[in-house]
Structure 1
Amino acid sequence: MGFVITKSDSSLFTYRQGSDTAYLLLYVDDIILTTSSDSLCERMITQLKTEFPMSDLEPLSYFLGISVSRTPSYMLLSQQKYAQEILEWAGMSNCKPAATPVDTKSKLSADYGPQFQDPTKYRSLAGALQYLTFTRPDIAYVVHQVCLFMHDP
């Protein structure tokens, strides 16, 4: 169809022809398609439907744990539901929020405190928190600190 794979992401494809531009993100059996015009979008969807069975779910609202809200001037990406699921999984859904989730002046060490009981759960939670930083860069520092101890939680 004329799409070219991007160098930065093997699941993202771009299409450019004249003033027409399209981006296609492919993840397993899910596709996000955005185009520079409605007519191009309709043509692309029609052509994709001739290649394989698919359904058009219309405007994007939720994808891979990220909810999408639209206004006339912007799109808001949120992982609030995903964050709540992480808190529940970690048994922390009743914890109080903090403006800064860690003391940035403290020095953590592998010798401080007891070992985490379930290293597999620790690593899974750390990975989930890393994914959450896509829409919550404000927690990137504390997530990095958590990840420093993946080898020995």
Structure 2
Amino acid sequence: MNDILKRAGMGECKELYTPISTSKLVIIDTDLYDDPTQYKSLAGALQYLTITRPDLSFAVNQLCQHMHAPTVSHWEQLKRVLRYVKGTVYFSLRVRKSSSREIHAFSDSD
């Protein structure tokens, strides 16, 4: 996660606690982002991160739907997700090798 933040030049960015704005609508503009390769690279890196960070799945899926022609507002949304990652850098699912073939699952059912 820290490598992704450094690659984006956001290693020291301000932290956020939600990956998507909960208070305002995002206005999509038509101005294309000037470095779509950077957008694609970072969105792809975030996509791999969703394996151990399911809390990012929805936001990253939204970003990846615009890889063909990202706009400036899509870039702003991607930066918001990166700020969220910065604030939650120690969150993740632990995936490790097991000698047992048993499957254990936990659920919170109300």
Q: TM-score, normalised by structure 2?
A: 0.54
Higher relative contact order (CA 8 A, sep 6+): 2
Residue 84 of structure 1: CA displacement? 0.4
Percentage of matched positions with identical amino acids:
49
The one-letter code of the counterpart of 1:88 is K
Residue 108 of structure 1: CA displacement? 4.5
| Residue of structure 2 equivalent to 1:86 | 4
Going by fraction, where is strand more abundant, 1 or 2?
1
The one-letter code of the counterpart of 1:101 is P
State the distance in 2 between where 1:119 and 1:106 align: 25
Matched, 1:115 2:14: no
Question: Residue 113 and residue 89 in structure 1: after superposition, are their counterparts in 2 closer, same or farther (change >3 A)?
Answer: farther
Structure having the higher Rg: 1
State the distance in 2 between where 1:121 and 1:91 align: 11
Residue 115 of structure 1: CA displacement? 2.3
Q: TM-score, normalised by structure 1?
A: 0.40
Q: Give the secondary structure class of the aligned counterpart of 1:134.
A: coil
Q: How many residues align?
A: 70
Going by fraction, where is helix more abundant, 1 or 2?
2
Structure 2 residue runs of 5 or longer lacking an equivalent are 71-110
Q: Which stretches of structure 1, 4 residues or longer, exceed 3 Å deviation after superposition?
A: 104-109
| Residue of structure 2 equivalent to 1:145 | 62
